[in-house]
Amino acid sequence: MTAEEILARKLSLARRFFEKYRHNLLKEPKITELLCAHGKAFAKAQEVTIETGAASFCARCGREGRSCCGADMELHCDDALLVANLLAGVDFPRKRLLPKACFFLGPAGCVLKVRPLICRNFICPELAAALGPEKVSSLQEALEEEARLLFWLTEEIKRWLIKGL
């Protein structure tokens, strides 16, 4: 099975589950609280990526075609993370938008609002060298809260997936 076929299957499962259970999920206070808290932590971490210069460094890397958001990276998105994105209002692309790139990478960056930890944590040696240790550690600190909430949000959704699929 190709990466494309695996992803198509995962997306179809996530959409089916979402259509069937979205009202129940959005009535669950724990899930709505975690979604909201994750959204805030994500926005805060994004601010730090802009303040430190990491966002512009990575955007330039992307424009030069060297981004780490490469093909097959989409397979790091598990079922719970895909459902979390649907709950957060993300409209998945119908097809890969950029050749040889991750399925979720669009011209303006990643389309996901809930992103895999591996994507959020990764700081390549070039970026680390450009930022310096102090900014790298601010970035890592800013991501801690998002990572914690990502874990609890996806764990909560997994409990529903086990019941519902």
Judged by the rule CB under 6 A, the positions of this chain that interact with ligand SF4 are 57-58, 61-62, 66-69, 73-74, 102, 104-105, 110, 112, 115-116, 119, 122-124, 126-127
* Closest distance to ligand SF4 from the beta carbon of 22 (Å): 22
When the beta carbons of 25 and 101 are compared against ligand SF4, the nearer one is 101
| Of 115, 122, 107, 108, residue with least CA distance to 68 | 122
* Closest distance to ligand SF4 from the beta carbon of 60 (Å): 8
When the beta carbons of 25 and 58 are compared against ligand SF4, the nearer one is 58
When the beta carbons of 35 and 131 are compared against ligand SF4, the nearer one is 131
When the beta carbons of 28 and 79 are compared against ligand SF4, the nearer one is 79
SS (H, E, C) the chain: CCHHHHHHHHHHHHHHHHHHHHHHHHHCHHHHHHHHHHHHHHHHHHHHHHHHCHHHHHHHHHHCCCCCCECCHHHHCCHHHHHHHHHCCCCCCCCCCCCCECCCEECCEECCCCCCHHHHHCCCHHHHHHHCHHHHHHHHHHHHHHHHHHHHHHHHHHHHHHHHC
* Closest distance to ligand SF4 from the beta carbon of 104 (Å): 4
* Closest distance to ligand SF4 from the beta carbon of 29 (Å): 28
* Closest distance to ligand SF4 from the beta carbon of 107 (Å): 12
When the beta carbons of 14 and 21 are compared against ligand SF4, the nearer one is 14
